[in-house]
Amino acid sequence: MEQKIADIDRQHFISFEGIDYSGKTTQINLLQAFLQKKGYSVYVLREPGGTVISEKIRDILLDRNHHEMSERAEIFLYSAARVQLVSEKIIPLLKEGYFIIADRYVDSTTAYQGYGRGLDLEMVKQINSAATFGLMPSITFYMEITPEQAQQRRLESGAGADRLEGAGIDFYQRVFNGYKELIRKEPDRFRVINAMQSVNSIHKKIIDLLEDHL
């Protein structure tokens, strides 16, 4: 059955965005603990993933051997994973009163597939709207680091590159610029965080901004 989102309260639906190695996940874990202490039931979801089907799609997407994946196949796979996540988890959990923290959401598709891969932005917009049923977070924390800083962090971590991380610095520069453009277009939803500060000061900043928002 098709989802109806008009009567869903989005106040407790928040997302985190940023290029890889921006430190999103660390901050999400800290925020989850903070909100739980405050008495909220919190659910963290990562994209692509978060359901059995979406995790399987994630494996296809991030497989280093899938060099031949076309850009359109890529956007439809991310979006298929998202439809499943929104229908199976996000909508029902919001209705049950959960606080949802999304580790990436539809802005990642605009930044990576739209600006990064160069897919037509109008097409991306339509696919995104179909994949989310139009349901958007009430606030989005953008963890800002430059592609050079991100690359430095990856080298220091000693991690290998997955299929996307193999895409090179030019790709990440386009993604970075894409996020800037998104923030310019929706200044009310985005909160930009300097992700090069210490873990603790970032956490404090996020809490302040979130408390203002709630």
Q: How far is it, in rounded angstroms, from Cα 103 to Cα 49?
A: 10
Amino acid of residue 127: I
Side-chain-side CA neighbours of residue 40 (13 Å)? 21
To ligand TMP, the closest distance from the beta carbon of 104 in angstroms equals 4
Q: Quote the least distance from Cβ 117 to ligand TMP, whole Å.
A: 8
Nearer to ligand TMP by C-beta: 109 or 191?
A: 109
Q: List the interface residues with ligand TMP, window 148-187 (CB under 6 A).
A: 164
Q: Which of 112, 141, 171, 179 binds ligand TMP (CB under 6 A)?
A: 112
Least distance in angstroms from the C-beta of 128 to ligand TMP: 9
Residue type, 114: G
Interhelix angle 121-132/71-85, nearest 10 degrees:
20
CB under 6 A: which stretch of 108-116, 118-126, 130-138, 180-188 binds ligand TMP?
Answer: 108-116
Residue whose Cβ sits closest to ligand TMP: 112
Distances, alpha carbon 74 to alpha carbons 2, 16, 53, 67, 100, in Å: 24, 21, 16, 11, 25
Return the sign of the alpha-carbon dihedral for residues 184, 78, 51, 199.
negative
Using the contact rule CB under 6 A, the part of the chain among 26-34, 101-109, 182-190, 202-210 near ligand TMP is: 101-109
Beta bridge partners of 46: 103
Report the residue from 43, 47, 85, 86 that binds ligand TMP according to the rule CB under 6 A: 47
Which amino acid, 45?
Answer: L
CA dist 54 → 13, 50, 94, 171 (Å): 19, 6, 19, 25
Smallest distance, ligand TMP to C-beta of residue 175, A: 8
Which of 108, 132, 140, 151 touches ligand TMP (CB under 6 A)? 108
Our measurement of the distance from residue 68's CA atom to the centroid of its chain's CA atoms, rounded to an integer in Å, reads 24
> Which residue from 13, 43, 78, 141 is in contact with ligand TMP, where contact means CB under 6 A?
78
- State which residue, 46 or 203, has the beta carbon closest to ligand TMP: 46
Q: Is 12 an interacting residue with respect to ligand TMP (CB under 6 A)?
A: no
Give me the helices (H) in the chain, please: 24-37, 52-62, 71-85, 91-95, 106-108, 121-132, 147-157, 169-185, 199-213
Task: List the one residue from 15, 109, 132, 140 that touches ligand TMP (CB under 6 A).
Answer: 109
Of 28, 35, 46, 143, the one binding ligand TMP (CB under 6 A) is 46
Residues that bind ligand TMP (CB under 6 A): 20, 46-48, 78, 104, 108-109, 112-113, 164
